[in-house]
Amino acid sequence: MKLCSKKWGNEKYLITDESDETLEKGLDEIRIAFNKMPVIQSLLKDFEKNKPLQDLVISCCLHVTKETANLMRTLKAGGADVYLCGSNPLSTQDHIATALASEGIHVYAWTNNTDEEFYECVDACLIPKPNILIDDGADLIVTAHKNYPEYFEKDGCIIACQEETTTGVHRFESMDKNGALKAALFPVNDASCKNQFDNELGTGQGVVAAIYGMHVLFAGKTVVVAGYGHCSSGMALRARGLGARVIVTEVDPVKALKAVFEGFEVAPMNEIVHKADMIFTATGCNNIIAKSHLDKLKNGCILANLGHFDVEIVAKDLYAAANGKIKTIRPSVEELIMPNGNKIYLLAQGRLANLALSEGHPAEVMDMSFALQAMMARYISENRQVLKVKHSILKVPDELNNDVAFAKLEAMGIKIDKWTEEQYKYHTSFEEGT
Ligand code: SAH
């Protein structure tokens, strides 16, 4: 069965496995995830009826998972023509890509694509002159700025952009500061309904699932967590909950202090790297496990990165040190023998282990992240005239963030209090004090 060849008219982008079995597996997984995404469910229904995205082309660069699939289906139900490429070479799940293609989403993604193929896929999503870009890590939007500057001009196709992850937001903050950002950009990652659940709960659980898959016990282990942001603090808590002794490393004094007050040992990496049974990096910065650390790593140490790019652990230097003594012992788990004889286990070649080794963050939290993305797309469509002339980072409106929280609570059957008129008056007045 060839699902995509005719539509794309380009043999190069054929999904390699389009068998009935693969397709059914993909469709089943998407359906089961949908069942855990009640906010997306209600949005999809609403979008089907009201078609808020009619006539828009939306291009996305996201991890190709069952949860992303449900966002893609929602955007399509809203009337958009939807293009999708993967945001990381190892996170694309081919059966999901196949299933999405069968539903008329233009998918340009397959697992383990090369850097060159990765950018070919990004380009394939930019050629159709998109109106909205939804990114995870900024590669799509940055490439659009570089290769299609005319899209951002007054009569260009781009209305506004949305970013899913911390690393992407940091890149856009730097573009914004340098005057290089040419469109309105909504950092969906910075909405509390996204980062307090997806980042804090999802990242840690994704990594725990990866380590469980290796059949390794957390209890009794010394776990080093690099960074104490949303993702890493969630990871530190989960490792502690499973009985590990957790040491946090940080550069930000406030985050370091927070880790201390939350009961973690905090120390510089250099001083504790030799103690670690597992090291998790989620800093968004490079050389966290640097060349100088490699001969200090303990025998059996597991190295896993949770950050968006594969720069936090110096994988290249690690491979060079192993000098060919490298064995893949499980999918995406490599055993490297160091010159001192110590065995090191590197996950996903230093790419984000929470997506490469497990299925990503669970549907229950992605429900909120992707509901926000869908609502933002609708908001952009409704406010296109105003947004078209903005060239900076804008905040996701608080009402949308609250709408998602209310919808999630309602779906969970949880009611909350409402201010009385008197309380509202008190709360919003500056006059009443002692
Ligand atoms: N925030 C970190 C990386 C964390 S994971 C950083 O930027 O360095 C990267 C992103 O993957 C998250 O923002 C999350 O929203 C997204 N993600 C996680 N699980 C997913 C899933 N199941 N499907 C699609 N995207 C997912």
| DSSP 8-class letter at 214 | T
Residues forming a β-bridge with 248: 225, 266
Q: Which residue has the tokens 């190709």?
A: 64
Does 14 have pLDDT greater than 70?
Answer: no
The dihedral sign for the CA sequence 215, 218, 222, 227: positive
Side by side, the strands of the sheet bearing 81-86 are: 106-108, 81-86, 57-62, 132-135, 160-163, 184-187
First to last CA, the chain: 75
What's the CA-to-centroid distance between 165 and ligand 1, angstroms? 6
Q: Are 19 and 111 in contact (CB under 8 A)?
A: no
Atom of ligand 1 nearest to the CA of 194: 15
What does the pLDDT read at residue 269?
98
3 state DSSP class of 180? coil
Of 7-16, 208-217, 269-278, 285-294, the range with the lowest mean pLDDT is 7-16
Q: What is the CA radius of gyration of the chain?
A: 22
Pocket test for ligand 1, best of 85, 88, 136 (most atoms within 8 A of CB): 136
What's the CA-to-centroid distance between 361 and ligand 1, angstroms? 7
Query: What is the pLDDT averaged over residues 293-299?
Result: 98
What's the CA-to-centroid distance between 296 and ligand 1, angstroms? 30
Instruction: Mark 199-235 as b/e (b = at least 16 C-beta within 10 Å).
Output: bbbbbbbbbbbbbeeeeeebeebbbbbbbbbbbbbbb
What's the CA-to-centroid distance between 261 and ligand 1, angstroms? 27
Q: Are 93 and 112 in contact (CB under 8 A)?
A: no
Q: Which domains does the chain have, with CATH numbers?
A: 20-190+361-411 (3.40.50.1480), 199-351 (3.40.50.720)
| DSSP 8-class letter at 198 | I
Atom of ligand 1 nearest to the CA of 309: 8
Q: Take atom 25 of ligand 1 and give the residue whose Cα is closest.
A: 63
What's the CA-to-centroid distance between 352 and ligand 1, angstroms? 9
What are the pLDDT digits (tens) for 299-323?
999 999 999 999 999 999 999 999 9
What are the pLDDT digits (tens) for 347-392?
999 999 999 998 999 999 999 999 999 999 999 999 999 999 999 9
- Pure H helices in 52-93: 66-77
Pocket test for ligand 1, best of 92, 355, 376 (most atoms within 8 A of CB): 355
Q: Take atom 21 of ligand 1 and give the residue whose Cα is closest.
A: 360
What's the CA-to-centroid distance between 310 and ligand 1, angstroms? 14
Q: What angle do CA 104, 108, 111 make, to 5 degrees?
A: 120
What are the pLDDT digits (tens) for 39-94?
999 999 999 999 999 999 999 999 999 999 999 999 999 999 999 999 998 899 98
Q: Which of 376, 377, 363, 359 is nearest to 408 (CA)?
A: 363
Atom of ligand 1 nearest to the CA of 359: 22
* Residues near ligand 1 (Cβ within 6 A): 62-63, 65, 67-68, 136, 164-167, 189, 198-199, 202-203, 231, 284, 306-308, 352, 354-355, 360-361, 366, 369
3 state DSSP class of 200? helix
- Pure H helices in 61-127: 66-77, 94-102, 115-126
